[in-house]
Amino acid sequence: MTRRAIYLTPSEGRPDAALEKGLQEAGCQVQCAYALAEALQMLRPSVAVPAGNGHARAAARPSGDDRVILLVASVRAGAIPLLSLLREQGIPIPPTLVFDEDGNDVHTIIKALQLGVREYVLASDPEVQRRLSARLMVERAGVNDAEVWKTAATSYAAHAAVPETISVDWDPIGRVVRVGDKFARLSSVEGRIFDLLLANRGHTVPVHDLVQGVLMHANVDTSIGARRLRPHVMRLRRKLESFPSGGMRIVNMRGTGYVLI
């Protein structure tokens, strides 16, 4: 049986060396995810989900002898949005260790605890302490890992029997989003935001890039531009969420940017 730890880490970085060493010392295989969409795909249990034509379609792995027993998620990479999305989509959250590179925001810690995080590790913690935290997490999770995906598959099956996501059509010239027979017209600013997020779907678009590409003011301060962008993003988010079958959602990566998943 392969025991895996999914590690959500920023695309421009790599897992914390001490945490990674602790996971490996406990005999856990580390598999990195560099985007929220990638982590969600890895964490969906493998179950047979009825499709619209009456036939069964296989949902995403893992199953059988390939079990995820631990989630390690970096705050900078989107640990809190990931946990929120797992809960919303009915995907059972495995024992989770959150790695905080900054550690100066108490609201992040409180939110993590509300979402059931087992361990919250700071980058400022000594290396030996971070390594031990990861190793002990694997050992504790390993006590009952045989039941993890059996329970997950049962729980996920109840939520997964929903219509398949309908493809989304985007007309950048007319600024119209179509999902099935419904459509929404976007403003010029909303259209530029959506176009940029869609082109980088599943990956965080930094606020600076959005300010430059959307507001098109080369010399505007990023903090001022972020405030100007916020109401446009909120209106765009509401329009996209009116199409639940489109499966689109804009997630705010605090202090970094936005990602369309």
State the alpha helices, DSSP H only, in 95-247: 106-114, 127-142, 148-160, 188-199, 207-210, 222-241
Q: How far is residue 145's CA from residue 94's CA, in Å, rounded to a whole number? A: 10
Q: How far is residue 40's CA from residue 22's CA, in Å, rounded to a whole number? A: 24
Of 39, 142, 85, 91, the closest CA to residue 31 belongs to: 39
Of 14, 50, 17, the closest CA to residue 163 belongs to: 50
> DSSP 3-state assignment of 96?
strand
Instruction: Say whether pTM exceeds 0.85.
Output: no
Name the token pair of 11. Answer: 């695309």
Tens digit of pLDDT per residue, the chain (261 long)? 678 889 999 877 788 999 999 999 988 889 999 988 888 888 887 544 444 444 444 444 444 445 778 899 999 888 999 998 888 778 888 899 999 988 878 888 888 888 889 899 999 999 999 999 999 888 887 665 455 545 544 554 444 444 455 677 888 888 888 887 888 899 998 999 999 988 888 778 888 888 888 877 667 787 888 888 889 988 998 888 887 766 778 888 777 788 887
Structural domains present in the chain: 2-160 (3.40.50.2300), 168-260 (1.10.10.10)
Cis ω before 62 (30° cut-off from 0): yes
